[in-house]
Amino acid sequence: MSEWALDDGSQAAGQGQGGEDPTNGSSMNPEGFSFAEHVYDKSGGAQGPGGDQLEGGGEESAASGRGPQDAGKGPILPEHLGWVKDPEKLSGFLMDFNKKYPLNPSTAPKAVKDVYENMKPPSSNYGPPKGSDKDAAEYWARYFGFPDQYAANKVSVESKGKADAWVSGSQAAGLGQVRPNAAYDAGFDFGPRDKYGNLRSQEHVQTFRKAMEDPGFNSMVSSMYSRMSFNVEKGNPFKSEAGYNQGPYGIKRGDAWTETARRYVQEMFPGQWDGSTK
C-alpha cells in the first residue's frame, strides 16, 4: 500500500478546498464541538459526562470515564492551553494540523479504505468505550478520517475503555493512552520532558494526567497521533499502527517490528493483517 498523489503538496486528493477535512461534512467542523458542554455533534450528537499494567479504572470508570461531579466541565488544562476550549481557535489549529498531515484514511485509495471499512472487533478481551466516552472517541476518529470501529478497537487495545487509565512508567494516560511526547508533537506542551519523553516535574505529571482523563480531549489528541502515524507511514494502515505502538510516528527503516507491535496490529485489525512488515 503506497502513498497517493497530493494535489499541491498541502492536501490529499479528494480533500475539500481550503484545507477543510471532508470526513463527515460540515458536522465535523470543530466549531460544532464544545469541551465545556461535552457536545460532540451540533446536529444532534450525544452530550453529557463522559503489555503494561494499567492503573486506575474499574467497571464504573469504564462506563463513564469521569464522575458526575465532572459533567460539563471539559478538560482541566493549564492556563497556556486554555485556547483549546475556544471553538474558533481550535478550528483554526486543527485545519492547520490537517494541512500539515494531509493524507486522510477517508479519502485514501480503495485498497486502504477497504481495510478500515472492514475492521471488526476482536473475538475476545474486547473493551470498547461506552456512553459519552464512545461518542467522543468516534467523533474525533471520524474528524481525522477513521471509522467508528477504528475508535472502538483503539480504545479497547489501549485502555479497555477506562478513561482514567494510567501507566506511571511511561506516563500513558486515558482512553488512548496518550504520552506527553505525543501530546507535545501534536501541539500541546505540558512541560519539560526527559530523554524518554516523560515529564520531569510531578506537578506537570499531575496536570497532564488530569487533562487526559477527559474523554474528548484525550480522544482528540489520540486521533491526531493516529493521523500523524498514518502520514509518516505514507498511508499504510498496518505500518501506521505498528508505528503508533513502537514509534513514535513510524518505525525507522531497517528496524525490526517488536513482538508487542505485531500483537498490537493483530488486535487492531483482527483477521486482516497477513503478517507483512513491508
Half-sphere exposure of 216 (CA within 13 A, CB side): 26
Higher pLDDT, 41 or 254: 254
pLDDT of residue 96: 96
DSSP lists the bridge partners of residue 104 as none
Measure the CA–CA gap between 266 and 106, rounded to whole angstroms: 21
Name the residue with higher pLDDT: 235 or 27.
Answer: 235
Could you tell me if 272 and 119 are in contact, meaning their C-beta atoms sit under 8 angstroms apart?
Answer: yes
Asked whether residue 163 carries a pLDDT value surpassing 80, the answer given is yes
Q: Residue 235: phi, psi to the nearest 5?
A: 80, 20
pLDDT at 157 over 70: yes
Q: What are phi and psi of 244, to 5 degrees?
A: -60, -40
User: What pLDDT is attached to residue 70?
Assistant: 43
Residue 39 has pLDDT above 60, yes or no: no
pLDDT number for residue 3: 41
For 103-114, how does the pLDDT look when each residue is reduced to its tens digit (9 = 90+)? 999 999 999 999
Whether residue 77 is predicted with pLDDT greater than 60 in this model: the reply is: yes
pLDDT confidence band for 125 (50 / 70 / 90): very high
What is the separation, in whole angstroms, between the first and last Cα of the chain?
A: 9
d(CA 204, CA 183): 13
- pLDDT, residue 6, reads 31
Q: Is the pLDDT of residue 170 over 60?
A: yes
Residue type, 222: S
Candidate from 67-76, 136-145, 177-186 with smallest mean pLDDT: 67-76
Average pLDDT taken over every residue of the chain? 79
If one compares 23 and 135, the residue with the highest pLDDT of the two is 135
All cell numbers assigned to 266 = 493483530
**pLDDT at position 73, please?**
65
Task: Name beta bridge partners: 193.
Answer: 199
Would you say the pTM of this structure is higher than 0.75? yes
Among candidates 224, 176, 207, 182, which has minimal Cα distance to 76? Answer: 207
The arithmetic mean of pLDDT across residues 179-197, rounded, is: 95
Residue 71 dihedral angles phi and psi, to the nearest 5°: -60, 130
- Please give the Cα distance from 269 to 245 (Å, whole number): 14
pLDDT in tens, 43-70: 333 322 224 444 543 333 333 334 333 4
% of residues, the chain, pLDDT over 90: 64
| pLDDT tens by residue, 221-254 | 999 999 999 999 999 999 999 989 887 656 777 7
